[in-house]
Amino acid sequence: MIRLGGTKEIDVNCRVISATNRSLEQLAESKVLREDIYFRLAVFPIDIPPLRQRKEDIPLLAEAFLQELNEEYAGQLQWSESQIARLVDYAWPGNVRELRHAVHRAFIMSDPKGKNIELPQRFESPFAKKISINQGIIAGQTIDEVERQLITATLDKVDGNKTLAAEMLGISTKTLYNRLHAYGDFDE
């Protein structure tokens, strides 16, 4: 290797560690990664399941992140059982990085002289596209009723932004307006 601006070659002993949230099949099909690069990187592949599939790791990670912050900032914050349960119940689409940031955010927002950490009301990012309304679905409902429920929940989630709601639902804005008009929920 030659340093930037240098003229002499120097020996370098290094290891390359790479990570992706895509499967090897997705990488191969989409041709995102050349095969020769794959063979250079795939000396020892490690497949780590997403955090949502390793719920037992969440309390351990949350505790480790909190202790790290407590040590760095001389804090004494601690988790309650209900807070750990909330952390375990969330899907963490951003995996460990999202959990770490959520703990850091909670630490910053908590009373530095207190003992209890304060979790936010919601963990979802503004990019979250999945909405769970499964609790409201009842066997025997018509498709129209369930569709109306989904549209209403999506509009609530995005504070009435019809363009964003249509995008999240995978339909055109015109289709959304037509459905709202059919439901009698057209207010503009």
Count CA atoms within 13 Å of residue 172 on its CB side: 3
DSSP 44: S
Q: Is the dihedral of CA 48, 54, 57, 62 positive or negative?
A: positive
User: Do 104 and 65 touch, CB atoms closer than 8 A?
Assistant: yes
Q: Counting every residue, how long is the chain?
A: 188
Whole-model pTM: value is 0.58
Domains along the sequence of the chain with CATH: 13-47 (no CATH), 51-109 (1.10.8.60), 134-183 (1.10.10.60)
Residue 156's closest CA among 131, 138, 137? Answer: 131
pLDDT for the residue 102: 94
Could you list the pLDDT tens digit for every one of the 188 residues in the chain? 888 899 999 999 988 888 887 777 778 788 888 888 888 888 888 888 889 899 999 999 999 999 999 999 999 999 999 999 999 999 888 899 999 999 999 999 999 888 999 998 888 877 665 545 555 677 777 888 888 888 888 888 887 888 888 888 888 888 888 888 887 765 54
- What is the rounded CA–CA span in Å between residue 100 and residue 117? 14
What are the φ and ψ backbone dihedral angles of 110, each rounded to 5 degrees? Answer: -85, 160
pLDDT for the residue 134: 52
pLDDT for the residue 32: 81
pLDDT for the residue 188: 46
- What is the rounded CA–CA span in Å between residue 39 and residue 108? 43
pLDDT for the residue 128: 62
Amino acid at 65: F
Q: State how far the alpha carbon of 147 is from the alpha carbons of 40, 97, 152, in Å.
A: 49, 34, 9
Long-range (24+ apart) CB contacts under 8 A made by 141-148 are 147/179, 148/179, 148/183
